[in-house]
């Protein structure tokens, strides 16, 4: 008779335990699936009863869309369903270009008012001016249209004509202007020279044009100032975010090496590193943020702050520390925007429902006519949104959002003027509302070279980021 050796008994026992666990797991999975199918049966039952018994015949497509949206919005404030039209609009925003006229418009007294024509676009070449009122589009009155409906009518296939009827101050009668649509590129990056020797770069959103736009802006500033460049101001105030890969590229443009951001979800984790090459040649940088700076803006501000590559001036940012992935739904059209990960700054900070705290907290001075409206100008922040994700790193009191007012007159822009003084080596302590607890010596450090992180090695080559939105 042969006997099994002791380790053979153990192996047999282990196999039996694995078999039992697999059987239990399969049974539980089967029970879970059964529960899901029962819930879907319940949904089908309710849907059929609404179709059959509602007082008026319902729009079935809208019912399904509402149900999908309800499911996604129950997860968090940023997950949602995009029907085919909304999906196309979102793609237009992220591409940063579309077929249209090239005008910024708003709604005033039921008609469309031109805020400004965009330089070198069909509208500008046709003589459309800021302050013009558009009262008809292809002969149809805009009365009763929403702003989005009017914009949709003005956009269209490149090369197609459109006639708008314009009412202009100083002219007695409206007149028609025929315009041929062309490709319009949304400039998310604008720049100028401030204080005589400082490059000012305003980034309004993170779309596919942002990275190239930033490089062009820095190149132009260098061309105009040469060796006289004292430093750079990167204005991210009221920038709601956008594409993750563009935020990574912008931060990379100012860093030589080290981590930029990491994302962590249920199924995967990613870490994005800077590659050698600082477009500003190590010049001091100030980043401006406020309560309207969210997501991708916070990724850039957080990365440059953690590496002590930039000094952050302004007020606490919005606090949106999650990444949304756009998942197309195939031939049916549309897509879902689904929160798939949280992101973390190089030091492992999660800013979800917390925001980025500036190194120097400086608030804008409100003009007398706006002081009574301060609550309307203060963003609620991520922490105030119902159903928001919790911060998994910070267990204390949630706090995010702040004043989001920026004066149009740069001379009255307290935060901008503080940044200019800072880069000129002047003391801005008197402008600070409260000292930042973490960085007492930030002003002195701003003139130093970027801090290195010995534990990190630069990536051999830039890793292509997924098409995700950090909005």
- Alpha-helix residue ranges (DSSP H) falling in 346-464: 374-377, 414-423, 442-445
For residues 342 and 263, the answer to whether their CB atoms sit within 8 Å is yes
Residue with token string 């951001």: 261
Cβ burial, residue 372 (10 Å; 0-12/13-18/19+):
exposed
Quote the distance between the C-alpha of residue 437 and its chain's center.
27
DSSP 3-state of 455: coil
Could you say which of 320, 354, 359, 469 is catalytic?
A: 320
Active site residue 8: no
Active site residue 295: yes
- Alpha-helix residue ranges (DSSP H) falling in 155-252: 210-225, 244-252
Could you say which of 188, 293, 295, 402 is catalytic?
A: 295
CA distances to 238, 340, 343 from 468, in Å: 20, 9, 12
Could you say which of 76, 245, 253, 306 is catalytic?
A: 306
For residues 118 and 103, the answer to whether their CB atoms sit within 8 Å is yes
The sheet carrying 285-289 orders its strands as 189-194, 198-203, 231-235, 285-289, 311-314, 360-361, 434-435
Q: How many CA atoms lie within 13 A of 362 on its CB side?
A: 25
Measured distance CA(282)–CA(313) in Å, rounded: 19
Tokens of 372: 């009574």
DSSP 8-class letter at 460: S
For residues 302 and 281, the answer to whether their CB atoms sit within 8 Å is no
Backbone angles phi, psi at 331, to 5 degrees: -65, -20
Sign, Cα dihedral of 352, 357, 358, 362: positive
Q: How big is the chain by its Cα radius of gyration, in Å?
A: 27
- β-bridge mates for residue 82, sequence order: 335
Biggest CA-to-CA distance, the chain:
115
For residues 199 and 228, the answer to whether their CB atoms sit within 8 Å is no
Burial string for 242-280 (b: 16+ CB within 10 Å, else e) reads: bbbbbbbbbbbbbbbbbbbbbbeeeeeebebbbbeebeb
For residues 74 and 132, the answer to whether their CB atoms sit within 8 Å is no
DSSP 3-state of 132: coil
DSSP 8-class letter at 284: -
> Could you list the active site residues?
295, 306, 320
């Amino acid at each position: 008779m042969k006997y099994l050796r002791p380790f053979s008994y153990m192996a047999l026992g282990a196999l039996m335990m694995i078999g039992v666990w697999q059987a239990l797991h399969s049974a539980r999975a089967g029970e879970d699936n059964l529960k899901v199918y029962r819930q879907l049966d319940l949904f089908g039952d309710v849907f059929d009863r609404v179709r059959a018994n509602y007082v008026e015949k319902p729009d079935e497509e809208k019912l399904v869309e509402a149900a999908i949206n309800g499911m996604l919005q129950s997860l968090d404030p940023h997950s949602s369903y995009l029907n085919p039209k909304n999906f196309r609009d979102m793609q237009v925003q992220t591409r940063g270009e579309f077929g249209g006229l090239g005008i910024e418009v708003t709604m005033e007294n039921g008609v469309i008012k031109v805020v400004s024509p965009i330089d070198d676009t069909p509208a500008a070449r046709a003589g459309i001016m800021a302050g013009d009122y558009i009262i008809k589009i292809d002969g149809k009155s805009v009365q009763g249209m929403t702003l989005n409906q009017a914009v949709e009518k003005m956009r269209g296939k490149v090369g197609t004509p459109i006639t708008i009827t314009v009412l202009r101050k100083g002219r007695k009668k409206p007149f028609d202007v025929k315009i041929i649509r062309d490709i319009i590129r949304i400039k998310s990056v604008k720049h100028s020279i401030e204080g005589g020797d400082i490059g000012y770069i305003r980034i309004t959103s993170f779309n596919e044009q942002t990275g190239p736009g930033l490089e062009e802006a820095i190149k132009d500033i260098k061309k105009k100032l040469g060796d006289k460049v004292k430093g750079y101001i990167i204005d991210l105030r009221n920038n709601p975010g956008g594409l993750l890969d563009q935020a990574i590229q912008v931060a990379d443009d100012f860093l030589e090496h080290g981590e930029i951001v990491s994302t962590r979800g249920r199924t995967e984790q990613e870490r994005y590193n800077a590659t050698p090459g600082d477009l500003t040649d190590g010049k001091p940088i100030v980043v401006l943020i406020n309560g309207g700076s969210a997501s991708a803006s916070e990724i850039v501000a957080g990365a440059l702050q953690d590496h002590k590559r930039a000094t952050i001036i302004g007020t606490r940012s919005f606090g949106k520390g999650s990444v949304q992935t756009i998942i197309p739904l195939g031939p049916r059209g549309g897509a879902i925007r689904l929160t798939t990960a949280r992101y973390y700054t190089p030091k492992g900070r999660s800013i979800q429902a917390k925001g980025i705290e500036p190194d120097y907290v400086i608030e804008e001075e409100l003009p007398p006519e706006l002081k009574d409206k301060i609550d309307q100008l203060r963003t609620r922040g991520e922490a105030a949104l119902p159903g928001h994700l919790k911060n998994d790193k910070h267990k204390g009191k949630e706090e995010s959002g702040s004043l989001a007012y920026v004066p149009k007159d740069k001379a009255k822009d307290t935060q901008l003027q503080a940044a200019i003084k800072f880069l000129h080596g002047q003391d801005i302590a008197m402008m600070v509302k409260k000292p930042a607890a973490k960085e007492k010596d930030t002003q002195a450090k701003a003139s130093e070279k970027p801090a290195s992180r010995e534990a990190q090695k630069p990536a051999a080559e830039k890793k292509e980021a997924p098409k995700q939105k950090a909005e």
